[in-house]
Structure 1
Amino acid sequence: MCMPSSSSPRWWSMFDPRTSYGRIYLCLLALRCFSALFGYGYIHPDEWMQSGETYFWLSLANSDAQLTWEWQPNHALRSLSVLLMQYVAVEPMLKIRRLLGGPLTGHSLFLIQRINMLLWSLVLDISIVFFLPPQTTRYVHYLFGISTAATTFLVRPFSNSHEAYLLAFCLLLVANRFKSPTWYQCDRPALPHWGILVGLFAVDGFFMRFTFAIFALPLAAFVFYRHVRLAIQGHPRTALISLSIAITIAIAFFGLRIETETSFYTRLAKMNCMELATFWRTKWVVPPVNALLYNVKTDNVAQHGLHPRWLHAVVNFPMMVGAANCIVVVIQGYLFVRDKVGPSTDIQTAASQEVVEEQEQERKEVERPMDGTTACQVASTSSKPEQACIDEQVAWVDIEATIVALSLWIVVLSLAMLSMSPHQEARFLLALAFPSTIVMAYALQSRFFTHRVRLMRTLCVLHVVQHVVQLVLFSFLHQAALLPTVFSIDTSLSRLTRHADPLLERYEHHLLYRTFSVPFHMLPNKGTAMLPHVEQYDSTYSASKLVYMASIACDHTWIYAPTWVVNHLHAEAHSQQTVDLVQVALFPWHLDLDHLAQTWATTNSVPVTEAFAIQKLHVRCKPNESSQHHISAQTQQDPRKSQSHQDL
């Protein structure tokens, strides 16, 4: 890359607690780590069902993980090869965990996956240091570090999270590569490396989610435009070589991904005697194309929920990137358009030139190396004076004009295209968090905001407050008792003997009712045998049906259900007169937004901590009818005792 010698401070300076920058960054990093390792909030089932459930179904022996419908060969909507790339650090951490000894637990699998995503976030943080000027790097680290995207979504193994990382890497690479009009004269050996990285990230992003193509469309158009412009300027050979490298590498990676997916899904289809979702009646399986064809049908997405088409722009985008960030993006977009298409006067031109010169001077002062070395001194060491002059000029070209324009185009175009779909969830816009932060980071350094101190402070306070509230909501409250419940079940299963008669020693049933999808890969102690038994029942099962099924193996069965539905279970148990449901444990801080009204209604009869919780109910058998007659005959001389038994 063509990087100025003085533009990038040592990357580890961000971890230096002796500076205010280092201290603030470390605090934000600690907050992110705390959210990742101790935030049991369960945002959406796809958090685990599109990633960990499939990964450990393949890699973990004796796992009871389940392959979700998206991974079935007759659908083939997800990419195995990119999932392995996303989970690149999981297998080494599993080996380390085994070396430490002791059985593998559900909680350890949870931590391993979260740490893996934390490592991806650190790679992005360090990349920012290398590609952006120091002052802008600080702004991005502060604004992005406190955002809901960084503290909550990107530390979870969503497919959207990996898509967002890949888009951020592509944006940094493309903007830095083409920031100068003379980019082709700088660092010629970097051409293959640049092509390899961009090609790999672009292909992986597309195979992770087909929406990556929408997010990356402005980047692809910009790369093509710069190469065409270079050819027109009299350098067709250089333009052809550079573009050919990127395209060739992208095609090679694309072919490798198709080969991997075809092999995986073909074996899976043969094992399960299922049809294979191939590409246009060929033998090849292309998951992103299958996903696109599935999502363009309204009947398909209607099964997951239909939303108004304004939801992304009005609700989801402000929630994901922040209301303050939205305001800044709108203002910056207006100023960008005004400067491009509006009439300019001599006064405006002079003022604009003054701003540019002032920002250039500020940037040079910030980027001056601590050892006193200047770019001119570095350039003077070049063996060719004319090349040294070029290097010096290129070194001081700021990335702002390129990366801000690209970020604005990504936000506007992607938001418009994704809003055409009738199925809209906030996490679908996760990839826009980083580009919008780039816009905000540069905007807050501009004269428009620095001359409006009160506005800038208000926006910063709003940004922090909103994202802290959302952090608490999504990381620590939303469906937050389900994972501790699963860990508790796994601990209970680990205490069962593995060598005795399973009908006598492993006869244990755990039934989960009216919760999010259970990530069964976090029950490594269950094994693949029928017993012990762990099942989940959704709203299609009535409380009456659940109590009846639980009564079949009473005394060996536990029900886990949110408090708002427990009263219905007690009523059915009383009606059927076969079992008693006894609360033996409570998993608090469980916020179910889909049933908030029902949950709040229970606070009239139970404490708030119990109302917002999942209860563990032991299903205890009542004496059967013959036992009642036997006890009644023995106690017929004591009516009071008999009545007491009947009441029981």
Structure 2
Amino acid sequence: MWRRTYLLLLLVRVYFALSPSYLHPDENFQGPEVFAGRTLLYPSKLPWEFTSENPIRSVFPLWPVYSLPMGLLKWFYGELEIGNPSPEVAYYFLRAVMFLLSFVLEDWAIYELVPLPRHRRAAVVLVASSYVTWTYQTHTFSNSLETLLVTWGLVLIRRIVGQKRRSSVFSCVVLALIAVAGVFNRITFPAFLLIPGLQLLPHFWRRPTSLFVFVLCGLFFSCIAIIIDTRFYRPSASVLDALRSPIITPLNNLLYNTKTSNLALHGLHPNYQHFLVNLPQLLGPAFVAMILSLWNRPAIPSWLKTTQAVSALSGVAMLSIFPHQEPRFLIPCVPLLLSCFRLRKSRLFLVAWVIFNAALGFLMGVYHQGGVVPVQLAIPTIISAETVKSNNSLENQPRVSATVLWWKTYSPPSWLLGNNTSFPLDIDTRDMMGIPGAEMAQELEKLVPPCGSHSGTHMDDASAGSGKADRTNFVLVVAPRSATYLDRYTTAPAGSSGLELQELYSYPKHINLDDLDVGTDGLLATLKRVFGRRGLNVWLARRAGCD
């Protein structure tokens, strides 16, 4: 029974791992986008975390997770002599890597953290049935990597403490590597291991060799990480230069996040946000069951005394000090709390748990900004098809350029455009974010030329000045179907020379939860618009009435 259930949940995890939902821009811009340009020579745009004067993100823990798989994929394609892998292949290959890391390392760690054999199967199945495991943990988040590092940090602490007669040198070396990788990955990492790590003090007192090895290896791995980061941000720097003038990204990150003015740029939340909003959002019925267990028993429940619970709750408490609080910051808490809580057999809980995770699984794992990745992958094909339609052929085609305006979506990852080799194509991607509809219309008025321009497209001034008068320029708009402001342009009045949007492509599995305007439209009308008009469309912007 347990084995069949686990295998079924494994298939569910595979399905969501290969579904192109988009949970947060960081899953692309703080991972694959950083290495795709260097490894696969795709177009890429580094985010501010990597380009500021004091960069706050380290590449040390990211290289083996993103750059190494991309490099292996490029080597494999080179051996087969079939060119560069497409961005679609690279995207799903990275998702497969994250699935394997979750399946092997996370489940293995949970198995080791639960001491009693009769509880292990239930704990592993409960974690495997969480929508957080299906979605967040299979996406390319630094938070997903943090979960693996936290759980294995706890496993190694347990192993070291359990060795009464040996120094556990190897475990200390690996724990030092995990500690350094965790800190350089996210500065929130120590919050989860600081209190559980106190268990090591008696062992280090009895076995000073273990302490010496742990500290020495920690310093060594830290130096390696600092050198790698410094040479990444200053490629001309030698190893000696890196040691003399190092770039210490965790320190920069800590200094940045201790300033409330900086956090205000990303959104400020009350200090209770993690405990009262984010944890219930991630755990659902399990959170309710945990709270009820505290009220129904006079003594402290046994699950609350476990290392996993201490790690999770102390981590949440420390992270609650900072006023910027997002649910993904608590991803490591999910497997920790689910693996230590002993659920009684309850049909009500089972039904609630299945409904909660199925609903959130499909919402977050399939529909949440689900069209951004497929549409970005399809943009070059859409433009080439429109070019053929306008000119009847791609042969002897002048260089084609396209300005693509993304409105009311997450930022599209540039690396997913890949390297187009079939015909000359320049794509200018502009993230319009959530600007008002009137401003979006003004931008289109500037870009779309009046009737009479070549093939209904236009040539910008820079092109004319450089002798590229035959350059074809398309203006595309990518926006959710729920953006009702654009309805006025999809059907232009006869004889009008105003703006017109012609639909070229539509991806149906897309919902924009950032467009919930309950205050203006009311709850039911908003839900009907956002969920009833699902999908992400690509329109060609042109003047109505033009031949």
Q: Does 1:523 align with 2:502?
A: no
Q: 1:302 to 1:93 in 2, by over 3 A?
A: same
- Match of residue 160, structure 2, among 177, 184, 193: 177
- 1:238-274 residue CA offsets vs partner (Å, 9 max, x unmatched): x10112111211111111111111121223899xxxx
Determine the structure 2 residue equivalent to 1:147: 130
Any idea what SS the aligned residue of 1:533 has? strand
Any idea what SS the aligned residue of 1:29 has? helix
Any idea what SS the aligned residue of 1:75 has? coil
- 1:437-472 residue CA offsets vs partner (Å, 9 max, x unmatched): 2211xx34xxxx4xxx4xx44334433332222111
Q: Which moved more, 1:413-422 or 1:26-35?
A: 413-422
The structural deviation recorded for 1:319 is 1.6
Q: 1:103 to 1:506 in 2, by over 3 A?
A: farther
The structural deviation recorded for 1:225 is 3.9
Q: Is the 8 A contact 1:560 1:614 kept in 2?
A: yes
The structural deviation recorded for 1:193 is 1.4
- Match of residue 443, structure 2, among 528, 531, 546: 546
Determine the structure 1 residue equivalent to 2:428: 533
Structure 1 segment 325-474 matched on structure 2, within 5 A: 325=287, 327-328=289-290, 331=293, 338=300, 405-440=306-341, 443-444=342-343, 449=344, 453=345, 456-474=346-364
Give the count of matched residue pairs: 506
Unaligned runs of 5+ in 1: 1-19, 232-238, 271-275, 340-399, 628-648
Q: Percent identity?
A: 25
The structural deviation recorded for 1:549 is 3.7
Determine the structure 2 residue equivalent to 1:620: 542
The structural deviation recorded for 1:593 is 1.4
Q: Is the 8 A contact 1:551 1:578 kept in 2?
A: no
**Which structure is higher in helix share?**
1
Q: 1:500 to 1:297 in 2, by over 3 A?
A: farther
Structure 1 segment 532-611 matched on structure 2, within 5 A: 532-540=427-435, 542-552=439-449, 554-555=456-457, 556-565=474-483, 567-568=485-486, 570=488, 577-597=497-517, 601=525, 611=533
Any idea what SS the aligned residue of 2:516 has? helix
The structural deviation recorded for 1:122 is 2.2
CA distance in 1, matches of 2:16, 2:351: 21
Q: 1:128 to 1:436 in 2, by over 3 A?
A: closer
Q: What's the TM-score, normalizing by structure 2?
A: 0.82
Which one-letter code corresponds to 1:547 in the other structure? L
CA distance in 2, matches of 1:223, 1:529: 61
CA distance in 2, matches of 1:135, 1:493: 58
Which one-letter code corresponds to 1:301 in the other structure? L
- Match of residue 43, structure 1, among 23, 30, 51: 23
CA distance in 1, matches of 2:403, 2:27: 26
Determine the structure 1 residue equivalent to 2:258: 296
The structural deviation recorded for 1:195 is 1.2
Any idea what SS the aligned residue of 2:266 has? coil
Q: Is the 8 A contact 2:94 2:140 kept in 1?
A: yes
Which one-letter code corresponds to 2:442 in the other structure? K
RMSD: 3.6
CA distance in 2, matches of 1:586, 1:93: 30
Unaligned runs of 5+ in 2: 458-473
Q: 1:596 to 1:108 in 2, by over 3 A?
A: same
CA distance in 2, matches of 1:436, 1:326: 12
CA distance in 2, matches of 1:176, 1:167: 14
- 1:367-416 residue CA offsets vs partner (Å, 9 max, x unmatched): xxxxxxxxxxxxxxxxxxxxxxxxxxxxxxxxx99x95322221221111
Determine the structure 1 residue equivalent to 2:368: 478
CA distance in 1, matches of 2:219, 2:136: 31
CA distance in 2, matches of 1:410, 1:160: 16
- Match of residue 32, structure 2, among 12, 33, 52: 52
Q: Is the 8 A contact 1:81 1:257 kept in 2?
A: yes
CA distance in 1, matches of 2:233, 2:218: 22
- Match of residue 194, structure 1, among 171, 180, 197: 171
Structure number with higher relative contact order (C-alpha < 8 Å, ≥ 6 residues apart) = 1
The structural deviation recorded for 1:573 is 9.8
The structural deviation recorded for 1:622 is 4.6
Determine the structure 2 residue equivalent to 1:223: 200
Q: Which moved more, 1:27-36 or 1:404-413?
A: 404-413
CA distance in 2, matches of 1:93, 1:560: 30
Q: Is the 8 A contact 2:39 2:70 kept in 1?
A: no
Max Rg structure: 1
- Match of residue 61, structure 2, among 55, 66, 82: 82
Which one-letter code corresponds to 2:480 in the other structure? P
Q: Is the 8 A contact 2:157 2:200 kept in 1?
A: yes
